[in-house]
Amino acid sequence: MSESEKLLQSSAVVRQRTRTRWPSLAVICLVVVLLFISLNAKLQLLAFPLSLISEPPRPPPDACPQPAPLFPTRRNAAIWETIRTQTASDAFKLGPGGALELLAGAVRIPTESYDDMHPVGVDPRWEVFADFHAYLARVFPRVHTTLKLRKINTYGLWFEWPGADPSLKPVLFMGHQDVVPVEPTTVGEWTHPPYSGYFDGHRIWGRGSADDKNGLVGILIALETLLQNGFTPTRTLVAAFGFDEEASGLEGAGALAGALLTAYGEDGVAFILDEGDGIVNTFGTALAYPCVAEKGYLDVVVEVTSPGGHSSVPPEHTTIGILAALLVQYEANPYPVRLSRGSTPLQTLQCLAQHGGSALPPAIRALILAAPHSDEALRALEGILAKDRLYRSQLATTQAVDVVRGGVKANALPEAAHAVVNHRILTESSVAEVRAHNIAALRPLAERFNLSFTAFGVAEQGAPGTARGTLALRDMYDALEPAPVSPRDSSAYELLSGSIKAAYGTRRGAANGSDTVVVAPAVLVGNTDTQFYWKLSPHIFRYGHGNAAAGLRPDEILDKIHTVDESIDADDFVEMIRFFITLVLNADESVVL
């Protein structure tokens, strides 16, 4: 058995590789903002000659519609005002059993998930989640006695709060219990121990404080607070928490999704809210970025075989040399950048141009506003943005050579070598298109090196004559198509946007609505547990209302998640809870979801 075969066989234990996200969800959704910050000076020098645009730039009337703040005004108005006062108090945040104490306690339980974990019941590393469940039951007694709790695959949590009107579709709040493991060699680099849940007067420190125990605990605090204040829902409310999102998601959300689909049916949920981005200070304007789409995912194994032998008499190209040429061919053939009308990235830009701060370079603002009706402006904008590595990840399928293996001894010609090329698939593309791109890029080299060529189980035409080796392409794990794009012109998106604006405008320290937030749809470059929930609802939003209080810039958010010194601002955590409560109450009153 070759080394490549051994590696592929051993990896089958995992069943599906982690669709690894970037170190911060803020990074993922806010690539567009980072672009303008990093290229601000360059963009001003690249001013496009606007005289070439066939029509003068004008903001399309519906480029980035902004609903008014949405407050509970009917049966939930009084309870919303009561809870608004309650959550603004120091006792709610700092008191015994307060929000920060509850989050800190959750952080202290190291619910790490690993890529190589075996199924539940086989791998003892899952057992820490039982301790976490015991903690949640102790600190959220009303939730556990009032809501119906089902445990799916032992550790998946499915809470259901039945509404008085069963004809209304339920709403689903998501989160995950697991955290990224702490690298043992980095423990000494932490300002405070990674599982201390330490509060320094401003921030809670520890693994999971910002991903995603803040979201999970925040949702449960919101439910506990609603119960404490006598709220009874008209619309059924569901909360589902997986436990291996940072690995494959299969054991947790993968199992939960099947149970939820059986219970509520296809398109049986009004909307789904999962972890995601929040609010960012962009050129002096607060912009909220709910992610309405996710890129797809494909790992391609590129395997080459050729005769071995003694290295003292090598061929012109060894197996590893051939593989190296193939990888160079990959990098010489990147996927084209596409900025298309109606795409989410262009919608994000239009919100920035139409409602963003005055610091945005005027020439770029003009291009963005003209792009919906001017081909010249659209192509010019695409060309400028394509020059930046960060923005390319929004506008193109990306490919990265992440693994290379081959050879066993210095004096032996390698008989096999392989590489793994990771692809994040553009929302307007598909797995089939990416596979076709792989085949087209490598077929000339298969002919050049006289290799028989098999791609994704289909024999491709190789070089004439007797092949001196083989080239095979295959999926390493299950491919994932890009997620369906949640429509902006829906009552669900409007309700979400209005709730974001209401929560932000009434936050602690807000000047009674004198400052506002612009809601702009965005694309998630990585993947969340929502990948298992597509059939439940066409309205899936990845948004957590983070950074609502701190008002940080994108460059100040980057180092808070998946790394040393993970932490969350205390006031930001309270604002997350207030947002969850606002959204629950608004959804409960809605008659159009």
Q: State yes or no: is 299 an active-site residue.
A: no
Report yes or no: 247 and 21 within 8 Å, Cβ to Cβ: no
Q: Which of 82, 120, 108, 346 is nearest to 204 (CA)?
A: 108
160, 212, 224, 245: the active-site residue: 245
The answer to whether 293 and 348 have CB atoms below 8 angstroms apart is: no
Task: Encode 473-498 in three state secondary structure.
Answer: EEECCCCECCCCCCCCCCHHHHHHHH
How far is the C-alpha of 65 from the C-alpha of 85, rounded, in Å? 30
Q: Considering only CA atoms, which of 540, 533, 576, 531 is closest in space to residue 16?
A: 531
178 an active-site residue? yes
**E strand or H helix at 254, and its extent?**
helix 253-264
> Is 562 flagged in the annotation as binding?
yes
Does 447 belong to an annotated binding site?
Answer: no
On whether 3 is known to bind a ligand per the annotation, the reply is: no
Strands 469-475 and 271-277, by their bridges, are unpaired
Please name the amino acid found at residue 282: T
Compute CA distances 232 → 87, 145, 163, 165, 173, whole Å: 19, 14, 7, 11, 17
Residue 246 is assigned to a ligand binding site: yes
- Give the C-alpha distances (Å, rounded to integers) separating 367 from 49, 136, 378, 581: 10, 51, 7, 39
- Nearest partner of 238 among 6, 548, 533, 465, judged by Cα: 533
Under 8 Å between Cβ of 295 and 482: yes
CA end-to-end span of the chain? 57
Please state the separation of Cα 23 from the chain's center in Å. Answer: 10
Tell me whether residue 211 is annotated as binding.
Answer: yes
Q: How far apart are CA 22 and CA 562, in angstroms?
A: 8
3-state secondary structure 285-299: EEEECCEEEECEEEE
Q: Which residues contact 572 (CB under 8 A, 6 or more apart)?
A: 278, 546, 547, 548, 549, 550
Q: Which of 160, 178, 277, 588 is flagged as catalytic? A: 178
C-alpha dihedral sign at 266, 270, 273, 277: positive
Residue 340 token pair:
């298309």
Active-site residues, by number, are 178, 245
Which residue positions form the known binding site? 176, 211, 246, 274, 562
Which parts are annotated binding residues for Zn(2+)? 176, 211, 246, 274, 562
